[in-house]
Amino acid sequence: MIRFVSSSGDSCSCVGKRFRGLYTEAMNSSKAVGLADVAREAGVSLATASRALNSAYGVAAATRERVAEVARRLEYVASPEASRLATGTTRTIALVVPHIDRWYFGEMVNGLEEILREAGNDVLLYHVGDPEGRHAFFEHLPARRKVDAVVVVAVPITDHERRRLELMGVTIVAAGGQDATYPYVSIDDAAAVRQATEHLLRLGHRRIATITAVDPDRVEQPARRGRTRGFYEAMADAGVTVDEELVVTTTWGGVQAAEAMEKLLSVRELPTAVLAHSDEMALGAMRTIRRAGLRVPEDISVIGIDDHPLAELVDLTTVRQPVRDQGMHAAHLLLALLRGEDPDRAQKLPTRVVVRSTTAPARNDQPSPARPATGATQH
Amino acid sequence: MIRFVSSSGDSCSCVGKRFRGLYTEAMNSSKAVGLADVAREAGVSLATASRALNSAYGVAAATRERVAEVARRLEYVASPEASRLATGTTRTIALVVPHIDRWYFGEMVNGLEEILREAGNDVLLYHVGDPEGRHAFFEHLPARRKVDAVVVVAVPITDHERRRLELMGVTIVAAGGQDATYPYVSIDDAAAVRQATEHLLRLGHRRIATITAVDPDRVEQPARRGRTRGFYEAMADAGVTVDEELVVTTTWGGVQAAEAMEKLLSVRELPTAVLAHSDEMALGAMRTIRRAGLRVPEDISVIGIDDHPLAELVDLTTVRQPVRDQGMHAAHLLLALLRGEDPDRAQKLPTRVVVRSTTAPARNDQPSPARPATGATQH
DNA sequence: CTGAAAGCGCTTACAG
DNA sequence: CTGAAAGCGCTTACAG
């Protein structure tokens, strides 16, 4: 930890010259207190000191007290390397995140980190952007035996990857993804889209377009399946035929959605509403609509999914998903698994429509059987 | 790592029953290959095996080759705990992040993680939201001796905190913050705001309002000082007197900015342009303007700072700052410091105005000495 | 309840 | 160039 490599004595990490004296002194004098110091000071053996600090049994209350007191006074903290080596446990959990720079992932990590750290774990961040990164991660991490568990954030993993982790005894959990093969917590994608679709249907829309998102390099695309399914089901339930021309697919992203929207605007008969698979995509669609000289929601209603923090600022109607909560639940799920409990391995958190001002009743070119929403929030 | 705690044999982490046989087998048979296995297989001692794999000197080329080959074949990976214990180094770097869920922080972490991991370090994530979290971090982390260095993302730290880290020999670097007391990479806040202000001035605006951001619980507020200063300087240079009524301060956030904008709209003579300290805040201001029945940019021009990914989708004019780059540069700075080199300890990355459509020439109630910008990007 | 001792899996002077 | 041995700082059976 204390690092004075250079023999010439001029390189004490990044510390300015004026501090050098101070540093040398600190190095020589303090040298992190260890268990031995605590034991000596408390007048017990190493073994007893260790037990007093860790295990619940086998130490006289008075002894435990005394040791604890000394440890506190000396600001003793066990060397994690040493105790990990000795116990064979790491108390470290890896987070595998494809796009840490996107709100969704950051929020998820936020929730995960909070719970995992509270439980005494270290949280290692692995950003795996592209397929190679994923590959490298799954090939090396388990072998490194650095972690007790890994939580993958919205990344479907292959069977091979999963098996590799399992074989090494690494517990795996998915946050925000969903996959029957390992425990997860997510939203019900189909239900979310169904809610969005039903909101539009309730407003009297019939020509509803949807901008569907897929991952460019994912092996599976559950979200697409799930979300798209919700749309078709809701339309069918309402007895509305889906015009396949109004179903466009693109990769995640606002710009991509903006381009997809151009396609939708070049259809013979324009849609009166469009449902995007994320708020970001909804904003992209809105830009195209706006640039085409059309208005939202007067000419075309737009609804997204997420309730991104900025959605509120641009008055975007959307389906809210609790992202941070998904992270927290996933963390709890993982901890339960690590404890050897048997928690619910398939948790879905509810979503709900948040009505703002990018959706409006369809104009009277279609019959409008349902009443328009009233501006309040609904389930 | 392999974890079969229960004596009844029914709790192999989170693995389903059908896998139990497989697991037990794996556990019994494989048991992670260690240096000893490599050494034996290669017919050398532990010491030689270790040297062959790590140090550059002191091993015959042929020996090194053979050991490396065996290691590869056995898929050997050193136990990080053991080697850290033995070397006293952690190869671990902590990232202290106040709001991982915001784009700016996620992007920064993205850049940091990439470079630090490439260099062979583990990246530990610490989300410290509130002052207590910060306190806990700085009090415990150094004592834990878990990390070689910490990079604080846009969090000014107190002198006491800094000293604590330094005394433990932990190298510290700031990414996105700026502070004369430790090495950093950031943008020039004053320059960024100056660019924004000059853009508005160039469009002929004179009644320029600014929504200034401060951190609620920060000890220092360099950004505020810096950014605010840029505004006053640019105005002074242009010979325009700042109307103090048009300078409002609030905490970071779109909703807060929306409220601040209400204040600006209740001034006797409305501003013709407003400069917000972030894009999110700009969007908040725009919402208030829109809801007041005014148009952007026809009635009021709006410019932000950041070039948030969504800024492009809402056509927001802004000052772009390279966030990921700041993270990458900060990582390189840190690595250089750890290597004992003497890098530039005060790196500022350039920003530039990105003109989109929320700013327009001031209407002719004021003289317009400069030509309006032409829609292209400018420095 | 407590202690002496072995061991976790590496690295690294110290001798050849 | 190579090996035997000590040591990194804990934890945990194994004996009292």
Three-state SS letters, chain B: CCCCCCCCCCCCCCCCHHHHHHHHHHHHHCCCCCHHHHHHHHCCCHHHHHHHHCCCCCCCHHHHHHHHHHHHHHCCCCCHHHHHHHHCCCCEEEEEECCCCCHHHHHHHHHHHHHHHHCCCEEEEEECCCHHHHHHHHHHHHHHCCCCEEEEECCCCCHHHHHHHHHCCCEEEEECCCCCCCCEEEECHHHHHHHHHHHHHHCCCCCEEEEEEECCCCCCCHHHHHHHHHHHHHHHHCCCCCCHHHEEEEECCHHHHHHHHHHHHCCCCCCCEEEECCHHHHHHHHHHHHHCCCCCCCCCEEEEEECCHHHHHCCCEEEECCHHHHHHHHHHHHHHHHCCCCCCCEEEECCEEECCCCCCCCCCCCCCCCCCCCCCCEC
Cα(B255)–Cα(B211) distance, rounded to whole angstroms?
12
Radius of gyration of chain B (CA): 28
> What integer is the mean pLDDT of B123-147?
75
> What integer is the mean pLDDT of B337-357?
94
| pLDDT class of B67 with cuts at 50, 70, 90 | very high
How close does chain B come to A340, measured CA to CA in Å? 6
Distance in Å, residue B58 CA to nucleotide C15 C1': 15
More confident residue, B267 or B117: B267
| pLDDT class of A344 with cuts at 50, 70, 90 | very high
More confident residue, B218 or A210: A210
Topology agreement, domain A89-186+325-349 and domain A189-320: yes
Q: In terms of CA atoms, which chain A residue is nearest residue B282?
A: A313
- Is the Cα torsion angle B340, B343, B345, B348 positive or negative in sign? negative
Chain B residues with CB-CB distance to A309 below 8 A: 254, 280
> What integer is the mean pLDDT of B131-159?
76
> What integer is the mean pLDDT of B57-71?
90
Q: What residues contact residue B7 under an 8 Å CB cut-off, 6+ apart?
A: none
Check: CB of residue A147 under 8 Å from CB of residue A124: yes
pLDDT at B31: 62
Distance in Å, residue B226 CA to nucleotide C14 C1': 58
| pLDDT class of A54 with cuts at 50, 70, 90 | confident
DSSP letters, A50-110, are HHHHS-SSSS-HHHHHHHHHHHHHHT----HHHHHHHHS---EEEEEES-TTSHHHHHHHH
Distance in Å, residue B30 CA to nucleotide D12 C1': 24
> What integer is the mean pLDDT of A140-150?
70
| pLDDT class of A110 with cuts at 50, 70, 90 | very high
pLDDT at B375: 40
CATH says A17-86 is which class? mainly alpha
Q: In terms of CA atoms, which chain B residue is nearest residue A104?
A: B101
Chain B residues with CB-CB distance to A283 below 8 A: 310, 313-314
| pLDDT class of B237 with cuts at 50, 70, 90 | very high
Query: What tokens appear for B308 in the block?
Result: 């948030």
Asked if residue A116 has pLDDT above 60, the reply is: yes
> What integer is the mean pLDDT of A212-233?
74
Which of B1, B146, B308 lies at the smallest CB-CB distance from A169?
A: B1
More confident residue, B164 or B65: B65
Count CB neighbours of A188 within 10 A.
18
Asked if residue B160 has pLDDT above 90, the reply is: no
| pLDDT class of A361 with cuts at 50, 70, 90 | very high
pLDDT at B206: 97
User: pLDDT tens across A250-299, in order?
Assistant: 998 999 999 999 999 999 999 999 999 999 999 999 999 999 999 999 99
CA distances (Å), origin B195, targets A268, A277, B190, B243, B353? 45, 36, 9, 19, 7
Average pLDDT, chain B: 83
Residues with CB under 7 A from strand D: A 32, 34-36, 46-47, 50-51, 53-55, 76, 78-79, 81-83, 85-87; B 44-48, 51, 57-60, 62-64, 82, 85-86, 88
Cα(A12)–Cα(A325) distance, rounded to whole angstroms?
43
Long-range Cβ pairs for the range A134-142 (8 Å, 24+): A134/A96, A134/A161, A137/A96, A138/A164, A138/A165, A139/A164, A140/B77, A141/A94, A141/A165, A141/A170, A142/A167, A142/A168, A142/A170
Cα(A212)–Cα(A200) distance, rounded to whole angstroms?
16
Q: Which of A22, A85, A100, A132 to mutate to test the interface with B (most CBs of B within 10 A)?
A: A100
Chain A residues with CB-CB distance to B308 below 8 A: 310
Could you say which architecture CATH assigns to the domain B189-320?
Answer: 3-Layer(aba) Sandwich (3.40)
Protein residue with the closest CA to the C1' atom of nucleotide C13: B47
Asked if residue B288 has pLDDT above 50, the reply is: yes
Q: In terms of CA atoms, which chain A residue is nearest residue B82?
A: A85
With a pLDDT cut of 90, the percent of chain B lying above it is: 55
Which of B110, B182, B255 lies at the smallest CB-CB distance from A101?
A: B110
Cα(A87)–Cα(B374) distance, rounded to whole angstroms?
67
User: pLDDT tens across B86-98, in order?
Assistant: 988 888 899 999 8
Taking the C1' atom of every nucleotide in all shown strands and the CA of B48, the nearest one is: D2
With a pLDDT cut of 70, the percent of chain A lying above it is: 83
Count CB neighbours of B223 within 10 A.
27
Check: CB of residue A302 under 8 Å from CB of residue A295: no
Asked if residue B142 has pLDDT above 90, the reply is: no
pLDDT at B157: 77
With a pLDDT cut of 90, the percent of chain A lying above it is: 55
> What integer is the mean pLDDT of B224-229?
77
pLDDT at A1: 28
pLDDT at B222: 47
Candidates 3.40.50.300, 3.30.360.10, 3.40.50.2300, 3.40.50.1820; CATH matching A89-186+325-349: 3.40.50.2300
Chain B residues with CB-CB distance to A117 below 8 A: 126-127
Cα(A234)–Cα(A240) distance, rounded to whole angstroms?
9
> What integer is the mean pLDDT of B167-172?
78
pLDDT at B217: 67
Domain ranges of chain A: 17-86, 89-186+325-349, 189-320
The B352-354 sheet, strands edge to edge: B247-251, B208-214, B273-276, B301-306, B317-320, B352-354
**Chain C footprint positions (protein CB, under 7 Å):** 1-13
Distance in Å, residue B147 CA to nucleotide C15 C1': 35
pLDDT at A2: 29
Which of B103, B284, B286 lies at the smallest CB-CB distance from A101?
A: B103
Average pLDDT, chain A: 83
Taking the C1' atom of every nucleotide in all shown strands and the CA of B39, the nearest one is: D3
More confident residue, B42 or A156: B42
> What integer is the mean pLDDT of A356-377?
63
**Per-residue buried b or exposed e for B46-71, using 16+ beta carbons within 10 Å of the residue's own CB:** eebbbbbbeeeeebeeebbebbbebb
Chain B residues with CB-CB distance to A342 below 8 A: none
Cβ contact, residue pair A310, B127, below 8 Å: no
How close does chain A come to B142, measured CA to CA in Å? 9
| pLDDT class of A336 with cuts at 50, 70, 90 | very high
